[in-house]
Every structure is written in C-alpha cells, then in structure tokens.
Structure 1
Amino acid sequence: MDGWKFSARGLAFALIAALAGASGAAQKAAEKKAEQEPQAAPAPGNTMGYGVKLGGFFTDQHKAAAKRSFAQHFAKAKTCPKDMDREGKTCRAQVKGHYWAVGQTLQKAVETHPLPDEVVARLPPAPDGYEYVRAGEDILLLSKGLHLVVDVMQDVAG
C-alpha cells in the first residue's frame, strides 16, 4: 500500500505540473496572437476623453479664471445676454435657482447658451464628446449626445 500512495502522489504532482505548464503555454500563445492582430480604433464619441469623472473636472483655479473672464467680458459689454439683467457692472440671471445636477440629464426646458470666447480661452479644452455651456449664472460641462451634466461651476457668470 505504501508504494501505491507514493505513485498516486507522484501521479498527482505530475498531472498538476502538466496542467500548469499547458495553461502557461496557452496564455503565452494568446498574448502572441493578440500582439499580431491589429487593434481596432475606438469609435468616435465612445471615448471618455480625459477620463472625465462626474463632478471632478473643474478645479478652483478654473472657477476663479472663469469668474474673472465673465467680469471682464460683462464690464466691457454694455448689454447683457437676453436671459440676464444688468445689476451694476455685472449681469445676473433672470431666473434664480439651479435646475440641473451633476450626473443627471439636462432638462429640455433649461435654456443654454455658448460661452464667450474670452471665457473659453481660459478653460482647458473640453474633452472629446463634451461641450461647455452657460445655464443661468453657471457653466456646465455636458456630454454632447445625452446632455448629461458632468460637472458644474456655480455662480461664475454673475
């Protein structure tokens, strides 16, 4: 019986070693095949640009730069956009409140406007598939297809 235990253990070790070697060889073959096949480029619009995280794109520096740009833009301009009223040297949104939130689709009733060129110049380029818009006194980073609010800078236009 002792001889049988020894041969059974030896057979088990040999079988495990053979399986491990075979799986390693199969993995190497799959890696080699993957290297040889050309990788398909991602379809336009399916990329995440800079790896945009909900609520994590804008920094305090972006907000400060946008606020200065808006202040300079509205101080130079004698009129305000049609959805804003002049209050001293600044323009304020006619409709108070925020009807958008990060992670939610922008409602169709919310009126958005393009940002002035002076403001866009001070912000980082919007990632592919995203755009900057102004809604009220806020700057939103929206996904172009779904109009998903990715990030918000609140109260920068006023």
Structure 2
Amino acid sequence: MTSAQGDKEFCETCYNKQMESELDVQLESIVQSFTVESHDGNKRTFEVHRRLDPLGIFLKAEESTIHGYRFAVHGELHCNQKELFNLLMDKTIQGVNTSNLKMHRFPNGHQTEGIAADQVIGRVEYDEKSHGNTPLVIIDGKPYTWVQFGRMVTSFEGFQMKIEWLDMTEDAE
C-alpha cells in the first residue's frame, strides 16, 4: 500500500482491516476453505481469499494445488456479502463440474486428450520451465504447455477461432 508516509506491506487480513476503516465498510466473516467434488469424482479443496478495495469486494477460490482451479467474483462495496460468497460457491461448483477436455480413442488403440466441444475455457499462467518464453494453459485444473495445447487444437484445422480474454471475475461461458 502506498501513501504519503511511504510504502507499506500488509498481510491480507491487515490490509482488509485497514481498508475497512478507510472505506467505512464492515466485512462479514466467511469460511476460509471448502471442498467440492469435480466432474471426475475427485475432491477439490479451495482456499478463500478476500480483498476489500475502493472498487468493491473481491472473492477468490483457489485450489490448494499448484496450477489448480481458480475462480473469482466481484461485488460492490455495500453488496450482500453472503450472496457474493454464494455466487463464488456456485461459480466454483459449476466450473469443476464442467469438463473441457476428454480422452479421444482411435481405432488403433491410441488415445490422446483433446478438447471436448467447440469451446475450451481455461486461463494462462507463467511457465517457469520456459523462462517466460511460452505460457502454461490451465484447463480443468491441470497445466498444459503451449505445445500440448497446440496438439489439442489440431483437430480444428481449417476452422475459424475466436480468442476472448476475460477478467477472472467475469463469467466465461
């Protein structure tokens, strides 16, 4: 946080307490983590992070594994915080129960993972192994290299495509 007195670093809780007093908003207590079952029958545990900001209240559910699922919502400063949390839960449940990928089996027995429908929803993250030269693509809570993702889209050769970038708080449908 930068102010006239200089820069200060705060933990998430301390930052939110500071913003509560500056914005005259009282944050309600929420659960710190929850577990949901995904489309493949696996239990996924999410940590809940909250950030109070002059632009509103941001909630994020982040799977407790590296490059796992991540969902976020945004509400106005004086929104119903329980409804905002329920919106995050609904988005998380819907997200982990939607499979963007499926295994394709060929007559010769070879199988490969590919895109399940005409659309894939995921996110882009930094790939340490490529030293920032190519990103990782996170789909269904799993990381794929740019080359692996490229193999998945080869079945769409000759098709048009539309790439749309959305903030984490927006619905990607």
Q: Normalised by the shorter chain, which TM-score bucket?
A: under 0.3
Higher strand fraction (1 or 2):
2
Larger radius of gyration: 1
**TM-score, length-normalised on structure 2?**
0.25
**TM-score, length-normalised on structure 1?**
0.27
